[in-house]
Amino acid sequence: MKIVFPAVAFSAAFTLPAYAYLDPGTGSMVLQAIIGAIAVGGAAVSVYWAKFKSLFTSRKK
Amino acid sequence: MEEEEALADPVRLPGSFRDPSGHIYSFENRVLRSVSHGAAGEYEASRQTLNELVTQGMLVDFRELSPEEFGMEQGGNAYVLEHPKLAPWTYPYEWSFSLLQRAALFHLELHLYLLERGLNLSDASAYNVQFQGTEPVFIDHLSVRPYRDGEFWLGHRQFCEQFLNPLLLRAHLDIAHNAWYRGNLEGIATNDLARLLPMRSRFGWKVLSNVVLPAYFQKNTTSDREVSFTTEGRRLPLAGLQSMLRQLHTWIGALRPANTRSTTWANYASTTTYDDDETTRKKEFIATFIQQSGARTVIDLGCNTGDYSKVSLESGAASVTGFDFDQQTLDKAYSRARAENLNFLPLYLDARNPSPDQGWMQSERSGFRQRFTADAVLALAFEHHLAIAHNVPLDQVVEWITATAPAGVIEFVPKADPTVVKMLALREDIFPDYTEEAFAAALARSASITGRMQVTDSGRTLFSYARD
């Protein structure tokens, strides 16, 4: 598992925003960090992918 | 919730203690909610959307009143809201698979709706959903607050434990969630489900990301693996959160119970021991009883797929709460209620062991008797499951049923009936006093018998009663 998700760095203690009265659980937060990283990464990739594709598509008027 | 005596001050309900932003009070049979000064800003920012949600029937109605009116201005209360009293009041461990599924989808839809309006939910408790007829409604106004850009979904674990995991238990393992949920109250722990799921269920992305990985990374007291992690400096983009919610919605919407083979009870209406004439007579008796008693609310014990609940609704009842212990029957009853637009809510009940008063101080979640009452009760083909199959003395069965409502119809199933014959086929008959006359005498001790009609050749007999 550690090899699969090198992007997730474990550091310091688990801290929570002050407004939370609910314990969100470490497991769920780690998962969302992964999703967040993928989403940010994915957004960047899609921008480049769109640029890349535009090189091969003829411009339409 | 005994509010019979006039109370001098609003009384805080014992189940309302977790969220410091406000609490629920009962005051002279009214339902009040305090909003703390700390939560007032978030409430004000959400108010317009809350009103929209009420208009759409997704949120229970609210009316702003002044705290001074109730002497509640002390103790840090900025607002007091009044809500209509909902009935019946139910808990997720009384819901069937299909009710829990409906509630889960509703919760996700509400969450997505709020996110589009710049708002978010601070938790994901299944206890914040109630059913009005067949439709879910959200009850916790203070769970709604402004969305903070990039914030994590703090309620994800709670959503999984209270909605997703119990559904997966039935979808993957064919185990109904009710007993476990009732025992634990907070749903099915992700760690527990992760240990149970068979190998083949584990490797899809959805199970992996919502059950297996969270369980792996979960820090807990019994684990020797220390996971330190901070959300500081990390973001879950809004689109990421929305896609998590949409993915869960699609997934949960497609879940079905693992076992689709019909149980005896799910086919009951078609395999029942009644012929058409007998069914017609029985329906007429119920229709006349409902009309004459003028009952508006009805409890149908052993409702099966709701044939007699429907008769009650057609005879003047405004709402029926049904109870049954067969999971497939309950799922069928619910889909029928929705398809035929019946104000009928079928709930899980094992009458041998009804929901107790439990939770913190043993009063956080109240029991069956505190929450379920009606103008009339139907207990058709029900009594023998307690009296014969569970050895409950006949007079106790009668006492328990008649305590549910001041009027009702109870069907007595005699020993000669094929169902009872089958129940006694493999065991000793230890019921010498199980007779129609003994039943009638027991009923007469609890109430007045207002009608009596034999409905089958085997001797099944309907009794209607009225308590003073």
Are B239 and A43 in contact (CB < 8 Å)? yes
CA distance B447 to B187: 40
| Percent of residues in chain A assigned helix, strand, coil, to nearest 5 | 50, 0, 50
| CB contact B158 to A (< 8 Å) | yes
Which sign, positive or negative, has the C-alpha torsion A31, A33, A37, A42? positive
Nearest to B230 among A13, A39, A40 (CB): A13
Give the pair of three-digit tokens for residue B133.
Answer: 């007829």
Query: What is the model's pLDDT at position B439?
Result: 98
Grouping H, G, I as helix, E, B as strand and the rest as coil, residue B191 is helix
Residues of chain B with pLDDT under 50: 1-7
What residues in A contact B187, CB-CB < 8 Å?
Answer: none
Are A17 and B153 in contact (CB < 8 Å)? no
Dihedral angle at the C-alpha atoms of B179, B182, B186, B189, nearest 10 degrees? -20
User: pLDDT tens, B267-289?
Assistant: 666 556 567 888 999 999 999 99
Report how far apart, in Å, the C-alpha atoms of B261 and of each of B183, B244, B270, B327, B337 are: 28, 32, 15, 12, 21
Place of tokens 């069965």: B397
Measured between CA atoms, how close is B354 to chain A, in angstroms? 30
Backbone angles phi, psi at B265, to 5 degrees: -75, -30
Q: How many CB atoms lie within 10 A of CB B425?
A: 7
What residues in A contact B186, CB-CB < 8 Å?
Answer: none
What residues in A contact B229, CB-CB < 8 Å?
Answer: 8, 10-11, 14, 26, 29-30, 33
Query: What is the model's pLDDT at position B220?
Result: 59
Query: What is the model's pLDDT at position B225?
Result: 56
Query: What is the model's pLDDT at position A4?
Result: 39
Measured between CA atoms, how close is B158 to chain A, in angstroms? 7
What residues in A contact B156, CB-CB < 8 Å?
Answer: 24-25, 28, 31-32
Per-residue pLDDT of chain A (61 residues; tens, 9 = 90+): 334 343 343 333 344 444 456 778 888 888 888 888 887 777 677 778 778 888 887 665 4
User: pLDDT tens, B412-424?
Assistant: 999 999 999 999 9
Query: What is the model's pLDDT at position A60?
Result: 52
| H/E element, B106 | helix B97-116
Measured between CA atoms, how close is A36 to chain B, in angstroms? 4
Tell me the count of A-B CB pairs closer than 8 A.
122
Query: What is the model's pLDDT at position B185?
Result: 97
Nearest to B215 among A27, A32, A43 (CB): A27
Q: Which residues contact B358 (CB under 8 A, 6 or more apart)?
A: B182, B185, B364, B365, B367
Mutate to test the interface with A, among B236, B238, B241 (most CBs of A within 10 A): B236
| CB contact B7 to A (< 8 Å) | no
Long-range Cβ pairs for the range B281-286 (8 Å, 24+): B281/B453, B281/B455, B282/B308, B282/B380, B282/B455, B282/B462, B283/B307, B283/B308, B283/B311, B285/B409, B285/B451, B285/B453, B285/B455, B285/B462, B285/B464, B286/B311, B286/B312, B286/B315, B286/B378, B286/B380, B286/B409
Query: What is the model's pLDDT at position B117?
Result: 98
Pairing type for strands B319-324 and B297-301 reads parallel
CA distance B383 to B397: 7
Measured between CA atoms, how close is A46 to chain B, in angstroms? 14
Nearest to B209 among A16, A31, A39 (CB): A31
Listed residue (B401, B351, B412) closest to B378, CA to CA: B401
| H/E element, B118 | none
Amino acid at B323: F
Are A20 and B227 in contact (CB < 8 Å)? no
Report how far apart, in Å, the C-alpha atoms of B15 and of each of B60, B124, B367 are: 18, 16, 12
Closest residue in B to A39 (Cα–Cα): B240
Give the pair of three-digit tokens for residue B456.
Answer: 């089958």
| CB contact B247 to A (< 8 Å) | no
Place of tokens 């879910």: B136
Query: What is the model's pLDDT at position A10?
Result: 38
Listed residue (B158, B190, B188, B161) closest to B175, CA to CA: B188
ipTM over 0.90: no
Query: What is the model's pLDDT at position A56?
Result: 81
Grouping H, G, I as helix, E, B as strand and the rest as coil, residue B232 is coil
| CB contact B196 to A (< 8 Å) | no
Contact between B356 and B350 under an 8 Å Cβ cutoff? The reply is no
Return the beta strands (E) in B70-222 as ranges: 77-83, 119-121, 129-132, 135-138, 144-146
Mutate to test the interface with A, among B121, B152, B203 (most CBs of A within 10 A): B152
Nearest to A39 among B122, B154, B239 (CB): B239
